[in-house]
Structure 1
Amino acid sequence: MSEGLLIVGEEVCAQVVNSKDAFDAVEAVFGAMARGDAYNFPVIREAIGYADALYGFKSGFDKAGKTLGVKSGGYWPGNMAKGLTNHQSTIFLFDPDTGMLQALVGGNYLTAVRTAASSSVSIAHLARKDAKVLGMVGAGHQSTFQLRAAAEQRDFEKVVAWNPHPEMLPKLGAVAKELGLDFEAVTQEELGAQADVIITITSAFEPLMMKDWIKPGTHIACMGTDTKGKQEVDPAILASARVFADEIAQSITIGEAQHAIAAGQIAEADITPIGAVINGDHAGRSSADEITLFDGTGVGLQDLAVASVAAHQAEKQGKATRVAL
């Protein structure tokens, strides 16, 4: 990149990074992590005692992609009432050769698109090829991104959805219709009975899906649990499934696996990094009846990977602002 600081705003990010760009960037960085070419630094995440907000930092270095940086931000639950997105973040990219700040990139759109890319990567590598029904647990801001990205990976015919606030479901239904998919609002139990692939994308602190509701051969992508105490599914599901994660260290401490680990239902050794499947070092799904589960905790390297794409694309297309710092 040229001299000066590149600034890439939210609107520009949405213009220059699509779901395919995000998928490729996230898949590559998961592969790099599994090879030991990229690693995440310890996450800092704190309840600040104000506005019920969670605030923190995710950082890392991808030696293969030459990407170094930090994502700063968090979750402000009262934002929706103010017409703002609950998740707020900004990504800082540094030159790994000099340590100089290279780019300042809006992180809200990219957080949604990289989270969707993460579950999408898991569907591509772990879901049955003949999956026809997609189950969506959650209908918040990120759910529409999840639905669009998932629809690119399998020939789904129908979407079944449940949300604790049912009045939010029509927005998801509109996206399904736009994609040419049938849509049905269902109970959690009915969702489990119908879905071949389930994406959970909530901020729940209790299991929303129970083991007895999940049919053989289902792939589950748990995308909402990213903090100690959060939980979206019955730990017994993990005990009966083949479990994969974006990063094992986060999975067992702040991810969905934290509860099954704490209860002794699974061990750390039972979890496989999704990058091992991407790199061809692990077969992934072993049978049509096997339940597979992806614990997508969200790692800093995902953010840095998509932000790097945004910065390069915005500069290439003349859509970024450059300032002297």
Structure 2
Amino acid sequence: MYVVPEKEIAGLMTPDAAFEAIEAVFASMARRKAYNFPVVREAIGYEDALYGFKGGFDAAGLSLGLKAGGYWPNNQKHNLINHQSTVFLFDPDTGRVSAAVGGNLLTALRTAAASAVSIKYLAPKGAKVLGMIGAGHQSAFQMRAAARVHNFEKVIGWNPHPEMLTRLADTAAELGLPFEAVELDRLGSEADVIISITSAFSPLLMDSHVKGPTHIAAMGTDTKGKQELDAALVARARVFTDEVAQSISIGEAQHAIAQGLIAEEAINELGAVVTGDHEGRGDAEVTIFDGTGVGLQDLAVAHKSVEIAKQKGVALTVEI
């Protein structure tokens, strides 16, 4: 089997390669060539940690496997980031394990690539202003990925802890874009594309905030109870997602569904837009991508990382 250590990922998986891998797996899912396995996620009763597995099989890309890991909130005492994961790939022809790949940076890259795919296909024409809600670690990846697929002229941002906005300002400067910190009502009315990437459990962006043609990539809600968007805003929008089952159970749509504001049938697969089987934005004023994160995305970028690592001669070989 091959081993691609975490320390090698930064030199292997580029944002462009991640985007191509995620775009392809969205298409595979829409064509029913790929499917995710049920997610396992449990509090282990030690170190306040959450641990679980996400897996699946992509018959088009021949990616089979799982990502194992979770959230360790006390990792600062070990000088480690809180999210830790490893992706294990298996040979679909034989079932033998084929690779173990460091999953921490890959998770950040695949999450950013997913929102970038939604921006490519759903951003309103002439979009100029990118709005960022959240300034945590993932926000920089999100902004860079968005800027690679669309020519924005300005970035505006908000964070519940304003002192963290320097991350957004620095990333925008790196991209050659002006940045301004604003309140949420201004962000909703001025931004053409909005990325929300927080861990909120109550709505931040309200229906009344959002005015004019807008696309929102809601990337923070991936657990029961989390919420970044007003349910009325979700109900007003044309909603797309990576996987409908997750959108209605743990994604941003869970609240609008629970309140009876929308039906499951109103939620569309982003992959169908990628394949050309759905018109996408159409005449909708507001579109939302409910990015819940699925195992197939992790497998896609891990599979690509192994290919690149083998080409560059940095993949370690281990006999088991």
Q: Report the equivalent of 2:314.
A: 319
Q: Report the equivalent of 2:227.
A: 231
Q: Report the equivalent of 2:132.
A: 136
- Alpha carbons 1:85, 1:141 under 8 Å: kept: no
Q: Is the counterpart of residue 209 in structure 1 residue 205 in structure 2?
A: yes
Aligned residue runs from structure 1 range 22-101, under 5 A? 22-80=18-76, 82-101=78-97
Could you tell me which of 294, 302, 305 is aligned with 1:310?
A: 305
Could you tell me which of 291, 312, 323 is aligned with 2:286?
A: 291
Q: Distance in 2 between matches of 1:86 and 1:216?
A: 38
Q: Distance in 2 between matches of 1:85 and 1:189?
A: 32
Aligned residue runs from structure 1 range 174-193, under 5 A? 174-193=170-189
The answer to which of 74-83 and 223-232 deviates more is 74-83
Q: Report the equivalent of 1:301.
A: 296
Specify every segment of 5 or more residues in structure 2 that has no aligned partner in the other structure, as ranges: none
- Check 1:228–1:199 CA distance in 2 against 1; reply closer, same or farther (3 A cut): same
Q: Report the equivalent of 1:150.
A: 146
1:319 deviates by 1.0
Q: Distance in 1 between matches of 2:190 and 2:22?
A: 29
Aligned length: 320
Q: Distance in 1 between matches of 2:67 and 2:101?
A: 9
Could you tell me which of 118, 121, 143 is aligned with 1:122?
A: 118
- Alpha carbons 1:247, 1:299 under 8 Å: kept: yes
- Alpha carbons 2:68, 2:85 under 8 Å: kept: yes
Q: Report the equivalent of 1:276.
A: 272
Question: Over residues 144-186 of structure 1, what are the superposed CA-to-partner deviations in whole Å (9 max), with x where a residue is unaligned?
Answer: 0000000011111111111112211102211100101011111
Specify every segment of 5 or more residues in structure 1 that has no aligned partner in the other structure, as ranges: none
Letter in 2 for 1:324: E
Partner of 1:15, secondary structure, is coil
Letter in 2 for 1:76: W
1:187 deviates by 1.3
Q: Distance in 1 between matches of 2:82 and 2:133?
A: 18
Q: Is the counterpart of residue 244 in structure 1 residue 236 in structure 2?
A: no
- Alpha carbons 1:34, 1:276 under 8 Å: kept: yes
Partner of 1:16, secondary structure, is coil
Q: Is the counterpart of residue 167 in structure 1 residue 163 in structure 2?
A: yes
Q: Is the counterpart of residue 14 in structure 1 residue 3 in structure 2?
A: no
Q: Distance in 2 between matches of 1:52 and 1:232?
A: 24
Q: Distance in 1 between matches of 2:137 and 2:256?
A: 28
Q: Distance in 1 between matches of 2:194 and 2:82?
A: 23
Q: Distance in 2 between matches of 1:177 and 1:115?
A: 22
Partner of 1:224, secondary structure, is coil
Q: Report the equivalent of 2:256.
A: 260
Q: Distance in 2 between matches of 1:93 and 1:64?
A: 15
Question: Over residues 75-119 of structure 1, what are the superposed CA-to-partner deviations in whole Å (9 max), with x where a residue is unaligned?
Answer: 223335654222111000000011111000000000000000000
- Alpha carbons 2:189, 2:212 under 8 Å: kept: no
- Alpha carbons 1:137, 1:198 under 8 Å: kept: yes
Alignment RMSD: 1.1
- Alpha carbons 1:241, 1:292 under 8 Å: kept: yes
